[in-house]
């Protein structure tokens, strides 16, 4: 894990209608980031709100919470604070006065976000996690719902609906323009996803990439309607604080899906706060959109766990070379190559926990952290590839429900290539610069290009990687070693 020294600490404060939240992140701008703390307080700003604005009590709650947040930022030596207020303060006549007194008395600058800006940051948080090119983004709050359109991964226009009843919220949702995907953000949608994940024994420990289906949503609605409020909190996965607002939220979600003609919704862990953070984190780019979510999420994970860059890059290089040259034998293509690349960069992640069983720890860490941009199936395959990068017979049974037919064979082939690359880089000194693969009816010949004879690598690869590799291709594996100019190396 990198020390915090080269990093900046950025706090994102979000003064919402119900809750004030502070998220503390450690970031190397443009490179890597991770959350290091979080603090929240229920402020219920809309309680007692009138045309004249927030009630005196509510103002007091906001003021004292923000004062504590500011102290916390000072004590934790935060380099930068990004603070915003949303609908309650925006709608209140005395909102600007509250913000002015917070600035004057606490020294904390808070921006009141216009509705469109709020929607923009929410969409930004989603776009940096979910691969939506063209489609819709739905945010359900307590008594409000927003649907935004996305074109070519850019926030396009927004439609706001803050109404008391579900039906009126829905009326302002645009009619579907053909089949376009839908992504969802916010606590209500995340919680609906958690309920479905619990019910189906979903095998990953993260919602990144989770797809919420209309069919399962209807099951949840039916279950909620059958139970009185007091018993809803016993539904596995349901957040106690949301027991009262989950049913209208679920109904809004269903109606929006029907209106847009979609059968499922991609769930995003990222939203408003992440969008605010990303604008800062990617401030050197014209658009604060991560250009390749998948590549970024793999690298961010690898860097956060202090990966050995040169070793991992070398394993990726060799695994890719083996994959490309054996394509006529295995028949896989770009989709599998992407999984192999990701697993090569992440294979040693578990070393952060300990050397013993580090391949198992790598799997666990990927299950917990998730890989934004990858589907659950792809994440599961990447996790399994790291699991089998050094030993064991590839086994997919724990993720059975996520995988497709043929994935056990796919995993086994990719694991054999990754394992071969790993043992050809056993001394972690990039001694094997390249591989050249040829074959006949009986043999798979792997010529290692190296300045010196890679004895340790051949010994270890023969012992630990060759058995799996031979079983995959049904060929006898033979290694030899050549200098870059093509002459055999001396032992």
Q: Contact positions toward its own copies, by CB under 8 A?
A: 1, 34-39, 41, 67-68, 71-72, 75-76, 304, 306, 351-357, 361, 365, 368-369, 426-429, 431, 455-456, 459-460, 463
Total residues found in the chain within this entry: 491
Sign for the pseudo-dihedral over CA of 333, 336, 342, 346: negative
Minimum distance from residue 283 beta carbon to its own copies (Å): 23
> Cβ(94)–Cβ(54) under 8 Å?
yes
Alpha carbons 300 and 452: distance in angstroms, whole number: 34
- Residue 384 sits at the vertex; the CA angle it makes with 378 and 390, to the nearest 5 degrees, is 140
Minimum distance from residue 456 beta carbon to its own copies (Å): 5
Minimum distance from residue 400 beta carbon to its own copies (Å): 22
* Closest by CA position to 412, among listed 431, 432, 428, 396: 396
CB closer to its own copies out of 79 and 165: 79
Report the 10 Å Cβ neighbour count for 361. 21
CB closer to its own copies out of 115 and 306: 306
Greatest Cα pair distance, the chain, in angstroms, is 88
CB closer to its own copies out of 382 and 432: 432
Alpha carbons 17 and 153: distance in angstroms, whole number: 29
| Helix/strand/coil for 431 | coil
CB closer to its own copies out of 169 and 312: 312
CB closer to its own copies out of 429 and 476: 429
CB closer to its own copies out of 179 and 428: 428
Query: Order of strands, edge to edge, in the sheet holding 476-482?
Result: 432-439, 443-450, 476-482
Alpha carbons 353 and 57: distance in angstroms, whole number: 48
Provide the token pair at 433: 């610069």
CB closer to its own copies out of 2 and 115: 2
* Closest by CA position to 262, among listed 409, 136, 159, 139: 136
Minimum distance from residue 195 beta carbon to its own copies (Å): 18
């Amino acid at each position: 894990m990198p020390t915090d020294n080269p990093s900046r600490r950025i706090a994102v404060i979000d003064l919402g209608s119900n809750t004030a939240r502070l998220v503390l992140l450690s970031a190397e701008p443009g490179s890597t980031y991770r959350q290091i703390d979080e603090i929240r307080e229920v402020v219920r700003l809309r309680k007692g709100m009138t045309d004249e604005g927030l009630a005196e009590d509510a103002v007091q709650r906001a003021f004292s919470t923000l004062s504590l947040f500011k102290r916390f930022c000072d004590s934790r030596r935060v380099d930068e604070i990004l603070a915003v207020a949303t609908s309650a303060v925006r709608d209140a006549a005395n909102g600007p006065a509250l913000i002015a007194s917070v600035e004057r008395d606490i020294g904390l600058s808070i921006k009141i976000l216009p509705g469109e800006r709020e929607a923009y940051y929410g969409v930004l948080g989603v776009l940096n996690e979910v691969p939506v090119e063209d489609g819709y983004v739905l945010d359900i709050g307590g008594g409000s719902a927003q649907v935004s359109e996305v074109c070519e991964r850019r926030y396009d226009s927004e439609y706001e609906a803050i109404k008391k009843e579900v039906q009126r919220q829905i009326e302002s949702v645009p009619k579907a323009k053909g089949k376009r995907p839908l992504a969802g953000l916010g606590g209500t949608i995340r919680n609906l996803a958690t309920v479905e994940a619990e019910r189906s024994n979903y095998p990953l420990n993260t919602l990144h990439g989770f797809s919420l289906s209309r069919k399962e949503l209807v099951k949840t609605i039916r279950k909620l309607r059958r139970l009185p409020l007091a018993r809803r909190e016993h539904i596995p996965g349901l957040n106690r604080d949301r027991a009262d607002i989950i049913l209208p939220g679920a109904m809004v979600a269903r109606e929006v899906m029907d209106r847009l003609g979609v059968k499922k919704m991609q769930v995003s862990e990222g939203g408003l706060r992440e969008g605010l953070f990303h604008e800062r984190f990617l401030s050197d780019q014209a658009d604060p959109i991560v250009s390749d979510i998948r590549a970024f999420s793999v690298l961010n994970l690898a860097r956060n766990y202090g990966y050995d860059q040169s070793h991992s890059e070398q394993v990726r290089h060799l695994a890719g070379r083996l994959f490309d040259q054996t394509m006529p034998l295995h028949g896989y293509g770009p989709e599998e190559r992407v999984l192999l690349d990701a697993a090569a960069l992440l294979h040693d992640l578990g070393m952060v926990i300990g050397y013993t069983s580090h391949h198992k720890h790598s799997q666990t860490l990927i299950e917990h952290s998730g890989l934004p941009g990858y589907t659950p199936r792809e994440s599961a395959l990447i996790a399994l590839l790291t699991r089998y990068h050094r030993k064991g017979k590839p086994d997919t049974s724990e993720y059975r429900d996520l995988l497709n037919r043929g994935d056990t064979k796919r995993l086994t082939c990719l694991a054999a290539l990754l394992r071969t690359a790993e043992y050809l880089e056993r001394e972690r000194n990039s001694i094997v610069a390249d591989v050249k693969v040829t074959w006949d009816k009986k043999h798979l010949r792997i010529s290692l290009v190296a300045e010196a004879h890679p004895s340790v690598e051949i010994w270890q690869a023969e012992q630990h990687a060759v058995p799996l590799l031979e079983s995959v291709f049904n060929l006898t594996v033979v290694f030899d070693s050549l200098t870059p100019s093509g002459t055999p190396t001396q032992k």
